[in-house]
Amino acid sequence: MKLISLTVTVLTVAAIAQACAIARGEKVARDTQWISSEDINYFTNETHIDKRVGVEQVQCYNTGTKADRASIVSYIDDFCFDLKGRTVNNGRVFTTRYNSGTFTVLISGAAINGCSFVVDNNCARLLRLPVDSCNTDGVNDKQGGVVTDSCGQWRVDPGSNGSDF
């Protein structure tokens, strides 16, 4: 009887894992239509981890390629999911360019001013600031921007034809 119970438990866990994988796969297929993403990370100077502080300032581009919010947010979610838990040391920049075929979206996060931090749930919140605070006439025609605080800089930049503009 214990063997049967164990088998059911394993199958249940496997079924849950498969359902989670399918649910994530369906979400990616439904929300994101990118053809490719290019990981273009680099670093200049690493130091120890410090607590992040400071006022968040948003700079809107208000020019360049326009994209709809849903596509940009799906790219932001993917970017932050991949980086969650990673340390960003001073001078390090994590950057990914998502290619949808008709436009690209460059997303990056950087540690600045001698700071270091661990990527957490603030990643998506910070990257959504220029999406939701700029080009506020609707959910389409978003042109992105940059969010800067005393320790980090986050960039969302729709572009066309492989360009960041």
pLDDT, one tens digit per residue, over 63-91 is 999 999 999 999 999 999 999 999 999 99
| Beta-carbon contacts of residue 28 (< 8 Å; ≥ 6 apart) | 74, 78
Q: Report pLDDT digits (tens) over 25-73.
A: 333 333 445 566 666 554 444 434 344 556 899 999 999 999 999 999 9
pTM over 0.75: no
Strands 145-148, 87-88: pairing is unpaired
Alpha carbon distance 159, 100 (integer Å): 10
Residue 60 Cα to chain centre, angstroms:
18
